[in-house]
Amino acid sequence: MPASTPPVAFSLSAPLGQAVRAARRRPVATLGPVVALLLPLLPLAAGAQFVLENGGSGALQGLIAGAPAGRPGALILRPDTSGWLLLAALVALLTAMIAVIVAAGLTTGAGAAAALVGDRRREERNPRLDLGLGRSLSVWPAMLVALTFQLLVVVVVGAVIVVAAVYAGRIRFQLTSVVELLGLGTLLMWLIRGSLWPATALTEDLPPAAALRRSWEISHGSVLRLLAAALTAALAIGVPALVVRFIVKLVLTALAGQEVIGLSPLAIDLWALVPVPIAIFLISAVWGREAPLLTRAMVEQQHRVLVDGDLDRA
């Protein structure tokens, strides 16, 4: 029997600790690429602001609290055709902004993963760090486009599932939960199985489409392992981010109540959302760094299964 290879454990402290040490040693070289990768957020945010100021805000308010068209005495109506187009544009812009944040996190995390040589606990500067980051930056444009398309597909499919659940509930109210559970659960599994494609594209030098197929093959039989790793990162970083968001909102609300600052409730809610994109970036960076290690472990596991099967047949 071949010697078994020890599994690669998912780590949170390693990538975050490495990022802190790298930022302390070389702040400009470490944070500079991150800032550059996040620059596309500026025109996207300006575009979202333009849509909101030119009818998007009213369409959004109508979507949330609007009455059907033609209802007498209604002050807020549901969006018309132009309103729905504005909402679609707003969703596309927000999805692209999330894709920029995720791509930036994956790129910087994958660059650190590509630079790892030997013992993962080494603290001295790795001479391959610049090489690994440079390789990641070279595939960033294709990664950003593919992630934007992937997220748009997820948004559309998720919306279809929710609408289908609502209509199913009109037939029998219990069907709403069943359709949502099955539909969104299937969508989550699809996301988990396809989440390794950026790491696969970097480590195996594959285009996005081929990397996605490769990710699907590698993750076969390891969905629960990937789900546990993703939940670990999401909870460990997301929960503190939500706590910070709650504290920021509480402080800003108190200051606004004392008329120290002049912020509306909507502005307070928007400022309180600042920790959310930071958390998305950190989760993406952790996943970008650890996904290649998980990929290697799963490939080795599949190889051992094949070898063991050949030995048993022999």
Lowest mean pLDDT among 43-57, 221-235, 274-288: 221-235
What is the rounded CA–CA span in Å between residue 203 and residue 264? 48
- Interval 7-26: pLDDT, tens: 444 555 555 555 556 556 66
Indicate left, alpha or beta for 15 from its phi (over 0: left) and psi (-120 to 50: alpha). Answer: alpha
Domain ranges of the chain: 12-138, 139-219, 220-314
Lowest mean pLDDT among 187-191, 213-217, 308-312: 308-312
- Interval 244-297: pLDDT, tens: 888 988 888 888 777 777 777 777 887 888 888 888 888 888 777 777 777 777
Nearby residues of 234 by Cβ (< 8 Å), 6 or more positions away: 283
CA atoms within 13 A on the CB side of 9: 5
- Enter the tokens of residue 228: 């546990």
- Enter the tokens of residue 161: 């599932």
pTM of the model: 0.72
Which whole-number Å values give the CA distances from 125 to 59, 122, 128, in the listed order?
A: 52, 8, 9
Nearest to 44 by CA among 84, 89, 105, 107: 89
